[in-house]
Amino acid sequence: MTRLTTHDIAKLDSELTQYNLSLIEKTGVDLAAIASFAAGITRENLKQAIQKHRAAVVPITSGQGIIGGFAESVQSIIQFLGCACFVTEAANVAGIAEAIDRKASIIFAADDDRFIAYHVGKGSYVDNGEATGRGYVAALAHMAKGLKGQDVLVLGAGPVGQGAISLLKELGARVKLFDLQAEALKPYQTDALVTLEFSLSEALSKYRFILDATPAGGFIGADDLQPLAMLAAPGIPLGLNLEALAKFGPHLIHDPLQIGVATMLAMIL
């Protein structure tokens, strides 16, 4: 999993309103609608369920340690959706105890390997990878005005790609999957709803709708894509190079945390 830097999320909090407006411009719907669609609930359900919850974000110092601004960015996205949320003073296990003492019903926490939202009452959790994949497919589906029967190229069969494939199948899309590692493709070799692609350049030119769930940066050029291509790219760094970004920006969904965190909240409620 790619590790965010403080720079990646520097202005996230103060720019959430304009980020949401850009989502509406590209997809026709806002962050709450995208997250609820990905979670299989209505936007109204989400807004109502949120009222009953209080979320905590617990900073975790293990591994490469705390990312400056990470917990606060997660908190701002949760609050933006109308959910009460606090960042614990303490980190790690002390932070979990503090979250429970302060009556948090949902606990968000990330180390270098996993980022989860844990529902204290149900004892269940949602993983950021799955939520991000589903959230980005929800955004792509709205931008494309529906993906039923459409070919969609998924780059990367990791947790994000797997989450994306699960919602694409639910939507009746025809999934085309590319991954550099044959090992990652194994689970899909016998999946009738998924066609495997073995040439990246061929696949990029063949399909209009693309979900880039790879951690590779700058490998997609403007000439690699169809003129009307639409892309949802949760991967950090961005797979599009600067020339491709300039040309396809108006039809590109890409953010460091927003859609993934919003969808985690919608899925865990």
The reply on whether position 1 binds ligand 2YC by CB under 6 A is yes
Between strands 151-155 and 174-178, the pairing is parallel
> For ligand 2YC, what does the binding mask look like between residues 121 and 140, x meaning CB under 6 A?
-------x------------
Q: Which of residues 22-61 bind ligand 2YC (CB under 6 A)?
A: 59-60
Shortest distance, CB of residue 5 to ligand 2YC, whole angstroms?
8
Shortest distance, CB of residue 110 to ligand 2YC, whole angstroms?
4
The reply on whether position 89 binds ligand 2YC by CB under 6 A is no
Binding ligand 2YC (rule: CB under 6 A), the pick from 23, 85, 110, 211 is 110
**Which residue's CB is nearer to ligand 2YC, number 70 or number 188?**
70
**Which residue's CB is nearer to ligand 2YC, number 64 or number 189?**
64
**Which residue's CB is nearer to ligand 2YC, number 23 or number 257?**
257
Which position's Cβ is nearest ligand 2YC?
A: 4
Binding ligand 2YC (rule: CB under 6 A), the pick from 72, 111, 191, 224 is 111
Q: Return residues touching ligand 2YC (CB under 6 A).
A: 1, 3-4, 59-60, 66-67, 70-71, 110-112, 115, 128, 257
